[in-house]
Structure 1
Amino acid sequence: MTISGPIIFVEDDLDDQEVFTEALRELGITDNYKFFGDGKEALEYLQTTTEQPFVIFCDVNMPRLNGIELRNEINNSNYLKQKSIPFVFFTTALNKKLVDEAFSLSVQGFFKKPEEFSQIMHIIKQVLDYWYNSKHPNSIRFS
């Protein structure tokens, strides 16, 4: 799979960042990803980059700007909305109110982080495969 833009992880837990990095390596993705420790860092990048991110995996509970707030900022920005970056939550926080709120912000997925590495890798692979094959506004593969 050749991914055209960086995979974005918005995750404040350094251990989780290491696990995600290892999962990406196992999937053969060694350099096309970026980590941000909170939503504010990610938002600053998204607002200034000329890159077209492939997908955003975002935690919910983070300092400065949490995942829900980040998604809301993206939705309120015409520039970022036009980028049509797929956005999924990947978090340990899980309750019906949170899932309802996330989907009211038009996220494309909500996943609970599993404990086992193989399951984490499986979810990441599923999301990447889905968006690689999906036709969406920022997809250049319309053949």
Structure 2
Amino acid sequence: MMRDLRVLLVEDDDFTRRLVLRLLHDLDVHLVTEARDGMNALEVLRDKGDGIDLIICDLEMPRMSGLDLLHALRTATGNPLSDIPVIVLTAHREADMVKRAIAYGISGYLVKPVSKADLVKRLSFAMQKGRGSSS
């Protein structure tokens, strides 16, 4: 299941991005595209969005936050990626942001620092839920 998963990892912090990338590789997820912020993620999605199955996205980023990225994904008319599963990365202090993200139909959230067990649980749930199902 995980081997063929194509993930877009959106995280501005190098340490956190490398940690999540290593955890994904440990889970046999090797098709990972990285983006440093929401603007970069939108460029990636514009270029190869049909090659992405799931987005793991930080909420707090410069230039374009995870919430702004979610808003752009979920509200763009005719966007074929509007229902792509999104797991958000968050720090404990961002509870209000998580509530706002949930309103955009996220597939789950991971609290930093991310653990392998939590990542497995969230990926499994997001992939079972899949595209096109309601939140």
Per the shorter chain, which TM-score range?
0.7 to 0.9
1:97 — aligned with what? 96
Tell me by how many angstroms 1:93 deviates.
Answer: 5.2
How far, CA to CA, are the matches of 1:132 and 1:60 in structure 2?
Answer: 21
Aligned residues: 133
127-136 or 11-20, which deviates more: 127-136
How far, CA to CA, are the matches of 1:95 and 1:16 in structure 2?
Answer: 16
Say whether 1:66 aligns with 2:65: yes
Structure 2: unaligned runs, 5 residues or longer: none
Kindly report the root-mean-square deviation, in angstroms, between the aligned alpha carbons of the 2 structures.
2.3
The structure-2 alpha-carbon separation of the partners of 1:80 and 1:93, relative to structure 1 and needing over 3 Å to count, comes to farther
Q: Deviation per CA, 1:44-73, whole angstroms, max 9, x where unpaired?
A: 111232524111111011111010111011
How far, CA to CA, are the matches of 1:104 and 1:16 in structure 2?
Answer: 25
2:86 — aligned with what? 87
Tell me by how many angstroms 1:135 deviates.
Answer: 5.0
How far, CA to CA, are the matches of 2:58 and 2:49 in structure 1?
Answer: 24
2:43 — aligned with what? 44
Runs of 4+ residues over 4 Å off in structure 1: 2-5
Does the 8 A contact of 1:39 with 1:64 survive in 2? Answer: yes
TM-score (norm 2): 0.82
Greater RCO, CA 8 A, separation 6+: 1
TM-score (norm 1): 0.78
Structure 1: unaligned runs, 5 residues or longer: 139-143
